[in-house]
Chains A and B, each alone.
Chain A
């Protein structure tokens, strides 16, 4: 195990490189159990209208997983315009008593859930001006990733495959290029299906992985959360250890010197 292998987002140090979403779970208890099993230190939440008068005594996510135990990352999921994304972040900041860390995601269409990069730039600029620390969801375009970093985003989070698709790392070369160019944390956000996908993202040198569906949609979400935690750690250690180069032919692992036949 590695000691002191931490990373920093907006001045705060984290030891877990697995970031989780809190959607799609059966109930709040399953959300809590899976989130705890993941040992994630950052969890995304959505901001939605209160269901007026329907369940006044219903437990609240903030009671089940209090923000002093885990860093909340309000996200702008389902926003299709910069304006909606900025409004959502401002409401989230008020909701969480001045908390400035947000995940910006402006979607382009419902079929692909690909980011609308033009609107993402507009929203990022406004949010950074407003004092937010912006972790931004983007496509796996290295130039876009670099521009978002230059604007002042605190982390850039390219997709590995479409949101919720579970297709894994579709373009490892782009992800690696983004990582090599970056001076801020790069996290794969979206597309992970199973533990090996998370490990591959980390082996490519990503600082972390953000996932929701892969855990919440598994038959046993709590067990998958544990698997993802280990995959992230394994991938990270393999990246730091430095893998052997790939070769087309065999390379004996026993010594040739001293053969007696």
Chain B
């Protein structure tokens, strides 16, 4: 099935869990947060949480940033 991850379409196994997605993305450090259809998915629930086709997924991490715009897109689409 297809889901949208960070703005890009991605094919994942049917009934894919959040934990599986993290593994597919090769994120090893664990210092991330995930939002699906604008709702936070707590890290403690990654194993149980299952995606549905077309889900809008954001996977974020902390980067250096001050007051001014930093490199990389924010969440807003207007920028």
Binding site for B on A (CB under 8 A): 20-25, 28, 31, 44-53, 56-57, 60-63, 72, 74-75, 77-81, 84, 87-88, 90-92, 94-96, 105, 113, 137, 163-164, 189-190, 210-213, 216
Contacts and interface: CB of A to CB of B under 8 A. Distances in A.
Contacts of B29: 60, 62-63
B28 to A, nearest CB: 6
15 contacts: A20-B66, A21-B65, A22-B65, A44-B66, A48-B61, A49-B60, A52-B59, A60-B29, A61-B63, A75-B67, A79-B74, A81-B78, A95-B33, A95-B60, A213-B67
Given A50-B61, A87-B75, A95 B68 contact: no
B79 A80 contact: yes
A91 B64 CA distance: 16
A96 B32 CA distance: 9
Main secondary structure of the interface of B (DSSP, over half): loop
Contact of B68 (A52, A62, A212): A212
B71 to A, nearest CB: 8
A91 B6 contact: no
Contacts of B68: 23-24, 77, 113, 163-164, 212-213
B59 A213 contact: no
B42 A46 contact: no
Interface in B2-54: 5-8, 25-29, 31-35, 38, 40, 42-43
Interface residues of B, number: 38
B32 to A, nearest CB: 6
A56 B23 CA distance: 11
A91 B31 CA distance: 12
Given A48-B60, A91-B58, A94-B43, A79 B66 contact: no
Contact of B35 (A63, A75, A91, A105): A91
Interface of B: 5-8, 25-29, 31-35, 38, 40, 42-43, 58-70, 72-76, 78-79
A31 B66 CA distance: 12
A105 B31 CA distance: 23
Nearest to A20: B66
B62 A189 contact: no
B65 A91 contact: no
B63 A94 contact: no
Contacts of A88: 74-75
B4 to A, nearest CB: 12
Nearest to B32: A50
Contacts of B76: 78-81, 84
Given A80-B79, A95-B31, A48 B73 contact: yes
A46 B64 contact: yes
A74 B31 CA distance: 14
A87 B59 contact: no
A192 B73 CA distance: 26
Contacts of A45: 62-65
A17 B34 CA distance: 33
Contacts of A137: 67
Nearest to A210: B67
Contacts of B34: 94
